[in-house]
Structure 1
Amino acid sequence: MPTLTDIGTLIISTPETCGNRSRIAGTKITVQRIALWYKMGMKPEEIIAEIPHLNLAQVHAA
């Protein structure tokens, strides 16, 4: 059976990291960065290839 992940735990924002911008929890990768790449035409799998420590759920959450 697949493991369920609460999508609300994947994105966080804290004043002391990344200027309080939304980012992927446990990283300094901002949602804005992922969204920009996606808008440029990159597929989630291509984004993971660029940042291999992310997983598909994190990219989709962003």
Structure 2
Amino acid sequence: MTTASTNIGTLVTRTPGLHGGSPHISGKGITVRRVVTWYKRGLNAEEICDRIGNLTLAEVYAALTYYHANKTEIETDLAMQAAEAKRLESLHGGNQPASHE
């Protein structure tokens, strides 16, 4: 019996025009940045799978591996995203009432 194997190098990719060319899970469009955000909030790989829903454990680990192998790139991306969010918040007042969803 033969088993199919996955080339782990194919699990994370970049697509011009998608997420500004940021690395993402192949075929899913979920960015490494999104996976790392949950990871930095204290979720483990299994919890990230549960939270995001349509990712396999291998895909989450591939994203985390990409992050650890390219930490400066992803940390810079996260910092730029946070700065842009802060800039937009200041432009729009940032004093919106809290949502009670």
Give the counterpart letter for 2:52 in structure 1: I
CA distance in 2, matches of 1:3, 1:53: 21
After superposition, the C-alpha distances for 1:5-57 in whole angstroms (9 at most, x for unaligned) are: 21110001011111100000011210011012112110111111112211000
Matched with 1:37 is 38
Q: 5+ unaligned residues in a row in structure 1: which ranges?
A: none
Gaps of 5+ in 2: 64-101
Q: Distance in 1 between matches of 2:40 and 2:4?
A: 29
Greater RCO, 1 or 2 (C-alpha within 8 Å, sep 6+): 1
1:17 maps to 2:18:
yes
CA 1:14–1:44 in structure 2 vs 1: closer, same or farther (change >3 Å)?
same
- One-letter code of the match for 1:13? R
Report the alpha carbon displacement of residue 4 of structure 1 after superposing the two structures with TM. Answer: 2.5
Question: Which structure's CA Rg is the greater one?
Answer: 2
Q: Alpha carbon RMSD of aligned pairs, Å?
A: 1.4
- The number of residues matched between the two structures is 62
TM-score (norm 1): 0.87
Amino acid paired to 2:6: T
The equivalent of 2:55 in structure 1 is: 54
The one-letter amino acid paired with 1:22 is: P
With normalisation by structure 2, the TM-score equals: 0.56
Partner of residue 95, structure 2: none
